[in-house]
């Protein structure tokens, strides 16, 4: 969920082209390290083939051992305000319609789960058009593990018991993948096991057993000179006793989004090494936070080897997102026993509000917000926000909403709602009723007074011609581009028209509904779900789509595990009783796995 395309427009063509090159070039290792696609169904889906000659991970002496672990804080907890709205009793009619919608979501999940179980059992991902499978996350049955707590939440306990039986066959000590994406493995596998463990209150020992296996495996990626993890981990080097080094180009989110899972491991097992590992990262991020090119924020790429922050690109979207998301959530999981995460959050929010948030110009006058990007490499562009709307950024409304409640920043709840409303608006304006991966909007010059200006929209469209073509400075040229590119009013460019079954929009819609009790968010969720179900349903499951500008978009042959772990879970929860996964009892990781708050 980290792969994104970045573009920044500057007044001159030369600067535009240079910045375009910078932001469309993915950093080394940004691609998945190992993806294998099988276009035909597998016949024996009981257990992946084993090869006894493969390298296996075992515990061994570390190259750079820790003599004294940083332990979980033991100071008294600080009171954390209530997050959820006090929902009144609902009428029987409201309950009936809510449950009908909830059951529709459950039916969609059961359809996708059956397709996975019948055609890709114990594999990472189902290919929803061909009925084949993909190996994309080390081959450890990513969809199965990622979906465990969704099965519990939806009451599908027979399916859950089948998944637990299959879990016995997963060997987390070996893989055909040469590199391990530590971040993805952490949030999907470790997070999935811990979420299922917490929901079942430790009833199934295999869950914490397997969680410990994968956590101990991942811990090996921290065995570097400065204890920063090698985020794209050459695990076979570590397994054979060779030295590893953190990368000079580490994606921020991959470094700063290990907190919740490793903290929960220390809370559950009493082993402080997990918390020690992530606390060193947190201290490193906090120490540099006010000295970056955009004080309060961290750039997209971090030099984890030399501990430098020289990359000029800043975003709260892909490549950075969950680092910011985890600040209030880690505060909650630690029961407010340290104020460190509150300090970091409160340092990040001012530059986010002042420099990244923008109101788009809309024909209907919708007062909504989005978060853009900053390129801080040149003085001329340091204060200019690039008006990129990205589906991955839609998590921000929920994060700001939680921060507003947890840290008593009540004035920011309005911002949280406007950010969430912006993503709903982006869904509603598309012919498919679904927001694209990446689009560029016409930003308002004045966020308080922003009437529709057709000429400004035309100018913004002409400023982003496809393939850097020379476009005449006329209304007719802009209108031709608008028609050719399928742009709707207020949208200057659609840089990536796909929908990848992503959860970020419904995530914030769910959180803001639980915070405010405003039923308009349930209404929006139902519109979103119906449009997604219509466009993505296949014979086997659900598929990503190629172009949301089309009423009947072409489907693509992949379905990431987060469709079952996150997207359908959030749709189900927004139509559930509010005490099911209450935000006052659970913290959800960035893959929507619920960790029980200790208090």
Structure tokens at 341: 């995460």
Answer whether 258's CB lies under 8 Å from 229's CB. yes
Separation between Cα atoms, residue 188 and residue 276, nearest integer Å: 21
Per the annotation, the verdict on 566 as an active-site residue is: no
Structure tokens at 550: 């089309």
Give SS3 for 66: coil
Of 330, 437, 557, 591, the catalytic one is: 437
Answer whether 388's CB lies under 8 Å from 438's CB. yes
Structure tokens at 573: 């929860």
Give SS3 for 17: helix
Element (H, E) at 440: strand 438-441
Per the annotation, the verdict on 165 as an active-site residue is: no
Phi, psi dihedrals of residue 225, rounded to the nearest 5°: -60, -40
Of 184, 198, 276, 325, the catalytic one is: 184
Separation between Cα atoms, residue 573 and residue 361, nearest integer Å: 32
Answer whether 169's CB lies under 8 Å from 47's CB. yes
Q: What residues have CB less than 8 Å from 13, skipping those under 6 apart?
A: 468
Q: Which of 299, 293, 261, 289 is nearest to 277 (CA)?
A: 261
Per the annotation, the verdict on 437 as an active-site residue is: yes
Of 124, 149, 223, 321, the catalytic one is: 321
Separation between Cα atoms, residue 9 and residue 28, nearest integer Å: 24
Phi, psi dihedrals of residue 491, rounded to the nearest 5°: -100, 120
CA 20 to chain centre: 24
Q: Is 114 left (phi over 0), alpha (psi -120 to 50) or beta?
A: alpha
Could you tell me where the beta strands, DSSP code E, fall in 236-285? Answer: 250-251
Q: Which residue has the tokens 């570590």?
A: 238
Separation between Cα atoms, residue 8 and residue 264, nearest integer Å: 39
Of 124, 460, 504, 507, the catalytic one is: 504
Is 338 annotated to bind a ligand? Reply is no
Could you tell me where the beta strands, DSSP code E, fall in 139-265? Answer: 180-181, 232-233, 250-251
Q: Which of 501, 367, 368 is nearest to 435 (CA)?
A: 501
Per the annotation, the verdict on 507 as an active-site residue is: no
Specify binding-site residues for Ca(2+). Answer: 590
Specify binding-site residues. Answer: 590
Which residues are designated catalytic? 184, 321, 437, 504
């Amino acid at each position: 969920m980290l792969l994104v395309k970045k573009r920044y427009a500057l007044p001159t063509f030369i600067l535009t082209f240079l910045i375009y090159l910078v932001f469309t070039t993915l950093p080394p290792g940004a691609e998945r390290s190992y993806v294998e696609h099988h276009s035909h169904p597998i016949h024996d889906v009981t257990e992946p083939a084993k090869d006894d000659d493969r390298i296996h991970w075992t515990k061994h002496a570390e190259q750079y051992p820790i003599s004294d672990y940083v332990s979980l804080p033991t100071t008294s907890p600080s009171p954390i305000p209530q997050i959820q709205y006090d929902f009144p009793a609902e009428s029987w009619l409201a309950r009936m319609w809510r449950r009908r919608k909830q059951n529709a979501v459950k039916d969609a999940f059961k359809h996708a789960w059956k397709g996975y179980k019948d055609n890709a059992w114990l594999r990472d991902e189902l290919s929803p058009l061909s009925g084949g499978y993909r190996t994309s996350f080390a081959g450890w049955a990513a969809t199965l593990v990622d979906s465990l707590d969704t099965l519990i939440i939806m009451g599908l306990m027979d399916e859950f018991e089948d998944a637990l039986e299959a879990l016995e066959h997963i060997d987390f000590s070996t893989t055909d993948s040469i590199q391990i994406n530590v971040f993805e493995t952490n949030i999907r596998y470790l997070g999935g096991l811990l979420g299922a463990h917490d929901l079942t209150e430790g009833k199934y020992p295999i869950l914490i057993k397997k969680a410990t296996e994968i956590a101990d495996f991942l811990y090996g990626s921290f065995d570097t000179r400065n204890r920063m993890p090698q985020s794209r981990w050459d695990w076979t080097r570590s397994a054979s006793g060779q030295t590893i080094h953190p990368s000079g180009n580490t994606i921020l989110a991959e470094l700063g989004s290990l907190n919740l899972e490793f903290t929960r491991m220390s809370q559950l097992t009493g082993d402080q090494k997990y918390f020690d590992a992530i606390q060193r990262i947190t201290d490193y991020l906090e120490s540099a936070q006010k000295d970056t090119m955009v004080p309060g924020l961290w750039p997209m790429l971090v030099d984890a080897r030399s501990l430098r922050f020289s990359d000029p690109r800043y975003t709260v979207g892909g490549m950075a997102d969950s680092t910011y998301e985890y600040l209030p959530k880690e505060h909650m999981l630690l029961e407010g026993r340290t104020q460190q995460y509150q300090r970091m959050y409160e340092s990040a929010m001012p530059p986010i509000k002042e420099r990244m948030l923008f109101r788009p110009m809309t024909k209907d006058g919708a007062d909504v917000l989005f978060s853009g990007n900053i390129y801080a490499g040149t003085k001329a562009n340091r204060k200019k926000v690039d008006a990129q709307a990205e589906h991955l950024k839609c998590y921000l409304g929920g994060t700001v909403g939680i921060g507003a409640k947890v840290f008593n920043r009540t004035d920011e709840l309005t911002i949280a709602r406007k950010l969430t409303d912006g993503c709903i608006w982006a869904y509603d304006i598309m012919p498919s009723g679904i927001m694209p991966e990446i689009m560029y909007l016409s930003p308002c010059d004045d966020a308080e007074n922003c009437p529709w200006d057709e000429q400004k929209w035309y100018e913004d469209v002409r400023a982003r011609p496809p393939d850097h073509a020379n476009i005449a400075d006329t209304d007719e040229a802009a209108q031709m581009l608008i028609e050719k590119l399928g742009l709707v009013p207020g949208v200057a460019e659609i840089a990536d028209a796909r929908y990848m079954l992503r959860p970020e929009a419904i995530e914030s819609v769910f959180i803001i509904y639980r915070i405010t009790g405003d039923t308009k968010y349930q209404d929006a969720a139902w519109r979103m779900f119906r449009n997604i179900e219509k466009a993505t349903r296949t014979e086997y499951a659900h598929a990503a789509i190629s172009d949301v500008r089309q009423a009947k978009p072409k489907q693509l042959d992949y379905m990431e595990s987060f469709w079952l772990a996150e997207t359908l879970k959030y749709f189900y929860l927004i139509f559930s009783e509010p005490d099911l996964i209450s935000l006052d009892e659970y913290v959800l990781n960035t893959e929507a796995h619920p960790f029980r708050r200790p208090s």
